[in-house]
Amino acid sequence: MSRPRYPFLFFVLGLLLFPGSSLQNSSPRSTTSQPKIILDNDWNPTAFIAFLLPLYYNYTVLGLASDTANSWALQTGLHALASLEIASLSSCIPVYKGSDYPLLQTAHTFQTYELLHGELPWKGVFAKENTTNEKLGNDPTSGDPRRVVKEAFTTKGYYGYPNVSFAEGSAAEFMVKAVRENPGQVNIFSAGALTNVALAVRLDENFAKNTAGLYIMGGYVDRFMEQAIGDVLRADLVSDINFIVDPEATKIALTADFPNITLVANSANGVIPNQAFLNELVAVNDNPLSRLVRANQPTYLPFWDETAAAVMVDREAVVLDEVEVYVDVDTSYHSPFYGYIRPYQAALMPPGLRKVKYINAVNNTKVAEMIKTVVQFPPKGCADLHG
């Protein structure tokens, strides 16, 4: 199990803020054994928690990659740059822009699918273009993937448009290069669409097997009744947009020869903050990141990506139940289940599938505690990462 990094300061804070919790038993690891990670996400103003968690748990973050899922890869990558800048981490963590488009899916095919099979509760990047909505500070959807909505950085208490730039090269090329230079050491974390991961798999036949493993936020099962009853928000919580945006990339990733693949989906719906939780973030330590989370984290949506990251960095303490299953992804465009996942047991599966670890339940109290800690006491810059 990885141990938290910011040594003496966090040991003392753990004693003061979480008496009796596992945090007070945390101690720094030697820097010679730091695990490495690349985080690929459709970044937004509060998604930085997903990279604060591995930093705190002594991972070396080699870089961030942006992808197209909730918005276009350019816009989500700019959010990553802005987050790093406000956290004073721009000089030590690069950001690589991912592919503008999924492998096959487009706004047209997505919207045609909805005409055939019904509306999806959350459409992500393929919601119809809405310039009025964008002027209110919402990220762009459909239309030109190269356009930038600066209002998404300057309204709603956000952080300002970034002054730093993307690193050279594409996200997929960066992943391949990083894994070649660090065989067997690099974890890949994907909390958006799997387009960049699939491209890396296709760029280098040895990429997947030479990673340390793949962690994915996505793969909802037993969701059909959830989408049929209750309100639209309830249906949204199991919509699996990360897979639906790029079903073909998901199929490639889930059949590649990664040493291990972990899926976190239904179990990530349990940590939903209330206003008291968000207020406490700032009350304990008023810093730019805690203010961002309080201002922008909805009190009706779970900490999805953050739960998946928590599973990755402290599996022993976080995971309550997991199973190994074989999984497939429906890549038939004419199927009403296009982009949906299906688990199998070995005796009943079709050929060509591989086993994955599926997280059924997590310790929600532990996950909430971890989120609080990394937001209240983030690193004070790159120097803090090498103590």
Instruction: Tell me whether residue 4 is in a domain.
Output: no
The DSSP code for 58 is T
What residues have CB less than 8 Å from 209, skipping those under 6 apart? Answer: 257, 258, 259
Instruction: Tell me whether residue 7 is in a domain.
Output: no
Rounded-to-integer distance, Cα 68 and Cα 244, Å: 12
Least confident window among 15-19, 179-183, 262-266: 15-19
CATH no. for residue 98? 3.90.245.10
pLDDT digits (tens, 9 = 90+) for 277-298: 999 999 999 999 999 999 999 9
pLDDT digits (tens, 9 = 90+) for 366-380: 999 999 999 999 999
Instruction: Tell me whether residue 29 is in a domain.
Output: no
pLDDT reading at 7 higher than 50? no
Question: Is 256 in a helix, a strand, or coil?
Answer: coil
Amino acid at 260: N
By DSSP bridging, strand 213-217 and strand 186-190 are parallel
Q: Which residue has the tokens 């003061």?
A: 16
Enclosing domain of residue 331: 36-384
Q: For residues 356 and 326, is the Cβ–Cβ distance under 8 A?
A: yes
The total domain count for the chain is: 1
Instruction: Tell me whether residue 81 is in a domain.
Output: yes
Q: For residues 306 and 281, is the Cβ–Cβ distance under 8 A?
A: no
Q: For residues 76 and 40, is the Cβ–Cβ distance under 8 A?
A: no
The DSSP code for 153 is H
Instruction: Tell me the residue ranges of DSSP E strands in the chain.
Output: 36-41, 60-66, 95-96, 186-190, 213-217, 261-264, 319-329, 341-344, 355-362
pTM comes to 0.91
Residues in the chain: 387
pLDDT digits (tens, 9 = 90+) for 249-275: 999 999 999 999 999 999 999 999 999
pLDDT reading at 347 higher than 90? yes
What residues have CB less than 8 Å from 8, skipping those under 6 apart? Answer: none
Instruction: List the structure tokens of 129.
Output: 């273009």
Q: For residues 212 and 187, is the Cβ–Cβ distance under 8 A?
A: yes
Instruction: Tell me whether residue 22 is in a domain.
Output: no
Amino acid at 363: N
Instruction: Tell me whether residue 235 is in a domain.
Output: yes
pLDDT reading at 9 higher than 70? no
Confidence category of residue 25, pLDDT binned at 50, 70, 90: very low
Instruction: List the structure tokens of 375.
Output: 């937001």
HSE-CB for 300 with a 13 A CA cutoff: 6
Q: For residues 289 and 375, is the Cβ–Cβ distance under 8 A?
A: yes
Instruction: Tell me whether residue 47 is in a domain.
Output: yes
Confidence category of residue 232, pLDDT binned at 50, 70, 90: low
Question: Is 232 in a helix, a strand, or coil?
Answer: helix
Confidence category of residue 357, pLDDT binned at 50, 70, 90: very high
Instruction: Tell me whether residue 6 is in a domain.
Output: no
pLDDT reading at 15 higher than 70? no
The DSSP code for 39 is E
